[in-house]
Structure 1
């Protein structure tokens, strides 16, 4: 089932061997974030491996991680904006079936994005944890409209910590960690499929039972709005 991982890994390694590592880290990390099937650990472990082959210093390795995370941040921001626009499109078209309007979603979003420190900490942790699907995190942040500055800083910091670990694992050739990362990647891929499937099934269920869903969504919205705001 996961034989595609081997083919992707082979292609990425072949690419890293023929282009400068700086370009590989930036554009590879960008593609890694935008294209879901590319394992999240592959680019940085590969960059670390080739940096060691070229006898580069650890400072150069950190520079690669900084560049790579800049590319990854751009990819994350694309999905953040997609989540922002998706909220407008979904509520505009299907909000009447759910008993929700744009103002309702904005009030709900304010409950989950009231404190920059709280939102930043949560987002940082979600970025650091290896098996959390990064695309869904970015889209969700856009839907609830977390402050852009908080999103960018927390995403970059969390991804940097995780990718620095990946890069050093590749640099020092820790095969056991590489095998562990591949297992984690399988979990992340499975979690992403599961969450996406649950969201789709939930939306279909709400649409089929839209008359009862109106009452349920209104009660849920009322409960969320009454939650104390985090300042």
Structure 2
């Protein structure tokens, strides 16, 4: 099924303008995580080269791809945000975590340009899967404006890099692209293990009666940073 979807995306690149392909493909790629990250922009970059278009066009389609990826990521963010409410209602007491505890953690990352830079880097690095980042940001209710602008900037850099690879000869970079896919898969697996470890750690804190004290100590008002 995934192979058929990838095939349809490749065929789509021959039927619509490259810019529209980058926009739509970026959106689909972000929503459906198993699709290899380099697929859309390496294809789009190679098409630009075949059409004889310059580097300026590469910047444009990278921005369009970033818009598509940001829209797709926003959907994941919203779903995670709403799911957090449901999870806290059903399992919050079991884990010993309140909705206020989670929101305090989110607010802790809403204060300085360093938080923006961190999120931009997470979205720009090729082997960091995008969906887990969106899920975490939604669960902790990271400020939506901060999330959107950082995601747009990071995915633009990521798209530009893959587009540049495609523009300069897709065949020559197949090994690099395969390496990115393997690293991204490893990143997703690592994320799952980290979530499981986090749940075990939270449950341990609950059993020891210290989870609220820990949240207050590390994410309370007295420990928050000033806005810059």
Q: Smaller-chain TM-score range?
A: 0.7 to 0.9
- Aligned match of 1:69: 66
Report Cα offsets for 1:103-122 as digits up to 9, x if no partner. 2222232223232x122111
Aligned mates of 1:143, 1:206 — CA distance in 2? 17
Deviation at 1:197, TM superposition (A): 4.2
Is 1:38 aligned to residue 35 of structure 2? yes
The reply on whether 1:215 has 2:212 as its aligned counterpart is no
Correspondence list, 1:136-175, <5 A: 136-175=132-171
Q: CA deviation at 1:216?
A: 5.0
Cα gap change, 1:200 to 1:218, in 2 (>3 Å):
same
Alignment of 1:229 with 2:224, yes or no, is: yes
Q: Secondary structure at the match of 2:70?
A: helix
Q: Between 59-68 and 89-98, report the one with greater CA deviation.
A: 59-68
CA RMSD between the two structures:
2.6
How far apart in 2 are the matches of 1:102 and 1:214? 20
Instruction: State the distance in 2 between where 1:32 and 1:181 align.
Output: 15
Aligned to 1:196: 192
- Report the CA distance between 1:74 and its aligned residue: 0.2
1:123 aligns with 2:123: no
Q: TM-score, normalised by structure 2?
A: 0.86
Distance 1:26 1:109 in 2: 30
> C-alpha distance in 2, partners of 1:188/1:216?
35
Mark the CA change 1:108 to 1:61 in structure 2 (over 3 Å): closer, same or farther: closer
Please give the alpha-carbon distance, in whole angstroms, between the structure 2 residues aligned to 1:140 and 1:177: 32
* 3-state DSSP of counterpart to 1:94: helix
Partner secondary structure for residue 34 of structure 2: coil
- Whether the 8 Å CA contact 1:97–1:210 is kept in 2: the answer is no
Q: Shift of residue 137 of structure 1?
A: 0.6
Counterpart of 2:54 in structure 1 is 57
Q: For residues 12-41 of structure 1, give each alpha carbon's deviation from its aligned partner in whole angstroms, at most 9, with x where no partner exists.
A: 322212222222111111000000111111
Pairing of 1:76-95 with structure 2 (within 5 A): 76-95=73-92
Give the 3-state SS of the residue equivalent to 1:114 in structure 2.
Answer: coil
Specify whether residues 14 and 214 from structure 1 end up closer, same or farther in structure 2 by C-alpha distance, changes over 3 A only: farther
Superposition deviation, residue 201 in structure 1: 6.6
